[in-house]
Amino acid sequence: MENKKVLLDVKNLSKYFNVKGQDLKAVDDVSFKINEGETFGLVGESGCGKTTCGRTILGMYKATKGEVLYNGKDIHSLKGKEALDFKKHGQYIFQDPYASLDPRMTVGEIIAEGLYVHFPKMNEAERKKVVNTLLDEVGLNKEHALRYPHELSGGQRQRVGIARSLAVEPSFIVCDEPISALDVSVQAQIVNLLNHLQKEKKLTYLFISHDLSMVKHISDRLGVMYLGSLVELADSEKVYNKPLHPYTKALMSAIPVPDPDHNSDIENRIHLEGEVPSPINAPKGCKFVTRCPNAMDICRQKRPDFLEVENDHFVSCHLFQEGRSVEEAEEIQRKQLEKNAQIKLEEEKKKIAKLKENKK
Ligand SMILES: Nc1ncnc2c1ncn2[C@@H]1O[C@H](COP(=O)(O)OP(=O)(O)OP(=O)(O)O)[C@@H](O)[C@H]1O
Ligand code: SF4
Ligand SMILES: [Mg+2]
């Protein structure tokens, strides 16, 4: 890890949307680094700010605050040729392959579109050759170049989306839920294709997903988002096998499919109660306080810092601050969960006793 080159350095990035005169904090002071050649996974529930984060990193949205350094340069301050170069280096693969492809254009035209902008000296024959090579690389063939998006299957359309992003020879791709709109049988093919292309072309990915169990298999490192903020970041094995933040623990324990790598058992499931608050009106202290089974007084008053609590393992939670070791913080969490389970059990017992009494 130490020897890896940082390709993207996201520093205190925020993106607010103005909604009826109020700030909707879709991304709120997020910091992380992506190393060259790695896949960085970004996970979290719907609406937590993953897409906004990915788009702001690529400059598709202007940042409200903070910086995105690409090879050391802030992408939001690039002008002229440098800005055009970054557009070529950073590409986006969309969740919905159908909506993202122009229905009036043939597959060949869609793939070649970026070539006109970034390789203006290329002639027709050269463009055709590039398109055919790309079709081959993504598992399609040259006959597909003449078809329209509606004449393809979902998996084929996503292959076209991938070919389009590869056409301009990028180095960094934001893959925004690229498989969630596809059949399960096709998902693995697209993941394998993305993995293969990454090795072949030395690509760096930001892989966005709401599915923790899937993204773990794809990512080298993983960031967990809640309500616009990063709550945990580490090696994906670590996040998966030893999550520390109460929110990540709840996400992990909710994974429904039996997974031999996943050691959480059903009795230890953490049920999250309550709704995700609005990003316009997030809680004043820790944003997770309204749903956290471990909430303390300080959590209602002060937003926790995002700190490195173990080597390359960052967590934003008061439990892991105040001079506590990771073991001590985990012990507090465990005892609190036991206590909560005991309270729940007592409540259930009382309910049953009341029902029995009413029956008499
Ligand atoms: N253009 C916009 N204008 C106003 N609010 C927006 C805009 N785009 C996103 N939002 C809001 O910002 C928040 C984050 O949205 P975003 O699409 O980034 O979430 P997400 O994590 O990608 O969700 P999903 O998993 O559903 O794709 C949400 O509350 C959303 O309603
Ligand atoms: S800071 Fe407090 S409320 Fe937030 S996750 Fe940690 S224990 Fe829970
Ligand atoms: Mg999204």
342 and 301 belong to one structural domain: no
Q: Which ligand is nearest to the CA of 53?
A: 1
214 and 356 belong to one structural domain: no
What is the mean pLDDT of the segment spanning 299-316? 96
108 with 145: CB under 8 angstroms?
Answer: yes
236 and 346 belong to one structural domain: no
User: What's the pLDDT tens digit per position in 115-132?
Assistant: 999 999 999 999 999 999
20 and 149 belong to one structural domain: yes
Q: Which ligand is nearest to the CA of 316?
A: 2
54 and 198 belong to one structural domain: yes
Cα of 277 vs centre of ligand 1, distance in Å, is 14
Structural domain total, the chain: 2
Domain CATH number, residue 60? 3.40.50.300
Give the domain extent around 290: 1-322
- Global pTM? 0.91
**Average per-residue pLDDT in the chain?**
91
- The ligand 1 atom nearest the CA atom of 44: 21
* Extended beta strands in 151-277, E state: 172-176, 204-209, 221-226, 229-235
Residue 231 has pLDDT above 70, yes or no: yes
User: What's the pLDDT tens digit per position in 71-107?
Assistant: 999 999 999 999 999 999 999 999 887 888 999 999 9
221 and 244 belong to one structural domain: yes
pLDDT of residue 155: 92
203 and 309 belong to one structural domain: yes
Residue 217: is it exposed, middle or buried by C-beta count within 10 angstroms (0-12/13-18/19+)? Answer: middle
71 and 178 belong to one structural domain: yes
359 and 219 belong to one structural domain: no
pLDDT of residue 259: 55
28 and 167 belong to one structural domain: yes
210 and 347 belong to one structural domain: no
Contacts 24+ apart (CB under 8 A), 335-339: 336/293, 336/294, 337/268, 337/270, 337/293, 337/294
User: What's the pLDDT tens digit per position in 313-346?
Assistant: 999 999 999 889 999 999 998 998 888 888 889 9
201 and 339 belong to one structural domain: no
224 with 232: CB under 8 angstroms?
Answer: yes
What is the mean pLDDT of the segment spanning 190-199? 94
Q: CB within 6 Å of ligand 2 — which residues?
A: 246, 286, 288-289, 292, 294-296, 299, 304, 317-319
Cα of 52 vs centre of ligand 3, distance in Å, is 7
